[in-house]
Structure 1
Amino acid sequence: MEPNPFVKYITQQIVEALDNRFKRPSKHTRSHKHGNFSTRWFGMLPHSLRITWRKMKKIRS
Protein backbone atom coordinates (compact mmCIF):
# COMPACT_ATOMS: atom_id res chain seq x y z
CA MET A 1 0.00 0.00 0.00
CA GLU A 2 1.49 3.32 -1.10
CA PRO A 3 1.05 6.39 1.15
CA ASN A 4 -0.90 9.32 -0.14
CA PRO A 5 1.56 11.95 -1.55
CA PHE A 6 -0.34 14.79 0.12
CA VAL A 7 -0.10 13.16 3.55
CA LYS A 8 3.59 12.50 2.97
CA TYR A 9 4.16 16.15 2.00
CA ILE A 10 2.26 17.50 5.02
CA THR A 11 4.19 15.17 7.34
CA GLN A 12 7.51 16.35 5.92
CA GLN A 13 6.53 20.01 6.32
CA ILE A 14 5.47 19.51 9.93
CA VAL A 15 8.70 17.68 10.79
CA GLU A 16 10.83 20.41 9.14
CA ALA A 17 8.91 23.14 10.96
CA LEU A 18 9.41 21.42 14.30
CA ASP A 19 13.12 20.90 13.61
CA ASN A 20 13.58 24.56 12.70
CA ARG A 21 11.60 25.71 15.71
CA PHE A 22 13.84 23.97 18.21
CA LYS A 23 17.17 24.74 16.55
CA ARG A 24 19.20 27.45 18.18
CA PRO A 25 19.85 30.38 15.85
CA SER A 26 23.46 30.96 14.91
CA LYS A 27 25.35 34.09 15.88
CA HIS A 28 25.05 35.45 12.36
CA THR A 29 21.26 35.32 12.33
CA ARG A 30 20.82 37.01 15.68
CA SER A 31 19.99 40.67 15.49
CA HIS A 32 21.78 43.38 17.37
CA LYS A 33 20.08 44.66 20.49
CA HIS A 34 20.55 48.30 19.55
CA GLY A 35 18.83 49.79 16.57
CA ASN A 36 17.37 46.67 15.02
CA PHE A 37 13.77 47.82 15.44
CA SER A 38 14.48 51.36 14.31
CA THR A 39 16.59 50.22 11.36
CA ARG A 40 14.03 47.67 10.29
CA TRP A 41 11.13 50.14 10.36
CA PHE A 42 12.79 53.43 9.44
CA GLY A 43 15.87 52.46 7.42
CA MET A 44 19.37 53.77 8.01
CA LEU A 45 18.33 57.29 9.03
CA PRO A 46 18.12 56.59 12.81
CA HIS A 47 21.42 54.71 12.66
CA SER A 48 23.20 57.56 10.89
CA LEU A 49 21.73 60.10 13.32
CA ARG A 50 22.96 58.01 16.25
CA ILE A 51 26.49 57.87 14.81
CA THR A 52 26.47 61.63 14.15
CA TRP A 53 25.21 62.35 17.67
CA ARG A 54 28.01 60.25 19.22
CA LYS A 55 30.67 61.96 17.10
CA MET A 56 29.33 65.38 18.06
CA LYS A 57 29.50 64.40 21.75
CA LYS A 58 33.15 63.39 21.35
CA ILE A 59 34.01 66.65 19.59
CA ARG A 60 32.31 68.77 22.28
CA SER A 61 34.05 66.93 25.11
Structure 2
Amino acid sequence: MSGNDYLKFMTEQVVSYLDLPSEERKKRKEAHKQQDSFYATRWLGMLPFTLKIMFQKENSR
Protein backbone atom coordinates (compact mmCIF):
# COMPACT_ATOMS: atom_id res chain seq x y z
CA MET A 1 0.00 0.00 0.00
CA SER A 2 1.50 3.30 -1.02
CA GLY A 3 1.45 6.43 1.10
CA ASN A 4 -1.32 8.01 -0.95
CA ASP A 5 -3.54 4.95 -0.62
CA TYR A 6 -3.02 4.88 3.13
CA LEU A 7 -3.79 8.59 3.44
CA LYS A 8 -6.96 8.11 1.40
CA PHE A 9 -8.03 5.20 3.59
CA MET A 10 -7.41 7.11 6.83
CA THR A 11 -9.28 10.16 5.50
CA GLU A 12 -12.27 7.99 4.63
CA GLN A 13 -12.26 6.45 8.10
CA VAL A 14 -12.13 9.83 9.85
CA VAL A 15 -14.90 11.28 7.69
CA SER A 16 -17.16 8.26 8.22
CA TYR A 17 -16.60 8.50 11.99
CA LEU A 18 -17.36 12.23 12.05
CA ASP A 19 -20.57 11.65 10.05
CA LEU A 20 -21.99 9.46 12.82
CA PRO A 21 -24.42 11.02 15.30
CA SER A 22 -22.85 11.98 18.62
CA GLU A 23 -24.92 9.38 20.51
CA GLU A 24 -23.56 6.59 18.30
CA ARG A 25 -19.99 7.80 18.86
CA LYS A 26 -20.54 7.77 22.65
CA LYS A 27 -21.92 4.22 22.47
CA ARG A 28 -18.87 3.09 20.49
CA LYS A 29 -16.49 4.71 22.98
CA GLU A 30 -18.20 3.01 25.93
CA ALA A 31 -18.18 -0.37 24.19
CA HIS A 32 -14.50 0.05 23.34
CA LYS A 33 -13.61 0.96 26.94
CA GLN A 34 -15.39 -2.12 28.27
CA GLN A 35 -13.76 -4.36 25.68
CA ASP A 36 -10.24 -3.07 26.42
CA SER A 37 -10.48 -3.67 30.14
CA PHE A 38 -11.85 -7.17 29.57
CA TYR A 39 -8.99 -8.23 27.29
CA ALA A 40 -6.32 -6.64 29.47
CA THR A 41 -7.58 -8.56 32.49
CA ARG A 42 -8.17 -11.78 30.60
CA TRP A 43 -4.79 -11.98 28.91
CA LEU A 44 -2.54 -10.31 31.47
CA GLY A 45 -4.24 -11.14 34.76
CA MET A 46 -4.89 -8.64 37.52
CA LEU A 47 -1.71 -6.61 37.04
CA PRO A 48 -3.17 -4.07 34.55
CA PHE A 49 -6.27 -3.67 36.70
CA THR A 50 -4.16 -3.05 39.80
CA LEU A 51 -1.98 -0.48 38.04
CA LYS A 52 -5.04 1.28 36.69
CA ILE A 53 -6.54 1.57 40.20
CA MET A 54 -3.22 2.83 41.62
CA PHE A 55 -2.91 5.56 38.97
CA GLN A 56 -6.52 6.62 39.46
CA LYS A 57 -5.99 7.00 43.20
CA GLU A 58 -2.83 9.07 42.67
CA ASN A 59 -4.57 11.38 40.20
CA SER A 60 -7.57 11.92 42.47
CA ARG A 61 -5.45 13.29 45.33
Which category of TM-score, normalised to the shorter sequence, fits these structures? 0.3 to 0.5
Larger helix proportion, structure 1 or 2? 2
The TM-score with structure 2 as length reference comes to: 0.41
The TM-score with structure 1 as length reference comes to: 0.41
